[in-house]
Chain A
Amino acid sequence: MTVAIVGVGATAQGKLPGATPLGLQVEAVRLALADAGLDKAEVDGLLTQPGTTASEGARNYLRLGEALGLAPRFTASLSMGGATGLVLLQLASFAVASGAANAVACVFGDAARTGGSRFSAAAGWGDSWGIWGMFSAAANSALTARRHMHEFGTTSLQLAEVAVACRRHASLNEAASMREPITVEDHQASRMVVDPLRLLDCCLISDGGVAFIVTSLERARARRRRPVAVLGVGQANSPETIGNPAWWYVPHQETAAQAAYRMAGVAPRDIHVAQLYDNFTISVIVWLEHAGFCKRGEGGAFVEGGRIRLGGALPVNTAGGNLSESYMQGWLHIVEGVRQLRGECGARQVPGAELCLVTGRGMTLNCAAAAVLARG
């Protein structure tokens, strides 16, 4: 596919009193347009993920389109949690490749921190899991972590390695919310949330906005920034939760990653840097397995010895991730992928980064997506 990301925009992140999801979306688009050197009038596609505090829900595309004064010929809103940014990248790529749109702005904005989103709801339809006290996104990942520990011997110390690596990377990122370095001991001393997950296994809850603009590689080459090519992108889903015996291990992540690799014509060994969805530390370990960087069950051992830190064999979440940069449901993972491939990351730059894998996962472990991005 000859499609590229031509501009990215990220607002201030963290605790932003008075900010609204809509206002943050508009600001993110303004920044992405400036980054791309595009005029608003050139944007003819608009895809959005409604923020968790956006009351309009799936009509977010209307409100944002109105606020931006756009008349898009391709638009939609989609809620697939932490997979949404990458799924919208896929849709935008299809739209550009087919000629349905020339330039598609993909946008997320949320005031989850100041708006009080707690991500604590019970999952399941009908007879809610809450009957048995089963609440929160953390608990779903805690089930995965416990079974992973049982089957493969994964340890809490290995989970800590993920948290420490993300925090170390965030310390090199001036835009990150949590920059004070942490140690494995800090992780082990943090309070238990849903055993086996501790506080430092959990992502932040954040306010912020993110946007990126997708256009053809040809058009992107005429712009001010080095384009970043979308070589491959894929999604895979398991709408069944406990009705699927393999649900806990989210094997659809592997299907999504393989689709992205196949479309890109590359293999895991070709990837220089990875932005792996980290709502909880265990998710990075499982993604390492599903993205083919190690075998099933070996993700815990893989993160040891600084392998996923800057300078390691596979730097992961180089901006700090959901765990330490900001919880933008994976949208900042796409932005960081673009910035690494442009070589703009200063102290946290991965030297010679030409290929980046970005992954996302959302809802009740249901939705997975992955993309291979390349220096254009």
Chain B
Amino acid sequence: MADKPLPTITDENRPFWEATRHGELRLQRCRQCDRYRYPIAASCPRCLSLDAEWAAVSGRGRVFSYVVFHQVYHQAFKDDVPYNVVLVRLDEGPFMFSNVVGVGNEQLRCDMPVTVVFERVTDEVTLPRFRPEEDR
């Protein structure tokens, strides 16, 4: 059976995956216009600056939208259905895809507060996922 897709670690994204391995969520922040950005990119899509730092973020956000997969589109997820995918809006602004763990799919709601958790998948890759957070 096919394995689940894993990130291809490159020079560009290595700081992101090294941070998650150490239990931290870091995103690029443009040094010229101060904006956080995600997806990971070589330059800032706002001001086009190449100058960025990998800044730690709170790992807190809200579920902007979510879906539950019943259809198996990738054989490696055959035993996971029904599973959720969420679009999280981090408190710092950027959106990320992820999964919410520790709660039934039927309890998911738009705008529910969540906080990041880290799940080790391989020696190299630790995936950021999210769990519900008490109302705040």
Contacts and interface: CB of A to CB of B under 8 A. Distances in A.
Interface of A: 118, 120, 122, 124-136, 138-139, 142-144, 146-147, 150-151, 191-196, 240-243, 245, 248
A138 B65 contact: no
Given A133-B69, A196-B67, 16 more contacts: A125-B39, A126-B10, A127-B8, A127-B40, A128-B5, A132-B98, A135-B74, A139-B67, A143-B67, A144-B65, A147-B110, A242-B87, A243-B39, A243-B45, A245-B89, A248-B87
Contacts of A146: 65-67, 110
B110 A242 contact: no
A202 to B, nearest CB: 9
Contacts of B95: 242-243, 245
Q: 3 closest pairs, A vs B, by CB?
A: A135-B73, A150-B110, A195-B68
Nearest to B109: A150
Interface of B is mostly: loop
A131 B77 CA distance: 11
A62 to B, nearest CB: 33
Nearest to B127: A131
A132 B83 CA distance: 10
26 contacts: A122-B5, A127-B8, A127-B13, A130-B5, A131-B97, A133-B99, A134-B85, A136-B73, A139-B67, A142-B67, A143-B65, A143-B66, A146-B66, A150-B65, A150-B109, A191-B70, A193-B71, A194-B69, A195-B82, A242-B87, A242-B96, A243-B38, A243-B95, A245-B89, A245-B95, A248-B64
Given A147-B110, A243-B39, A243-B45, A131 B5 contact: yes
A133 B40 contact: no
B34 to A, nearest CB: 16
A105 B34 CA distance: 49
Interface in B1-60: 4-8, 10, 12-13, 37-40, 45
A139 B69 contact: yes
Contacts of A150: 65, 109-111
A201 to B, nearest CB: 12
A192 B70 contact: yes
B92 interface: no
B101 to A, nearest CB: 11
Given A139-B67, A194-B67, A194-B69, A132 B97 contact: yes
A136 B82 CA distance: 15
B110 A127 contact: no
B96 to A, nearest CB: 7
A131 B111 CA distance: 23
A248 B63 CA distance: 13
A130 B73 CA distance: 10
A193 B4 CA distance: 20
Given A126-B13, A127-B7, A195-B67, A133 B74 contact: yes
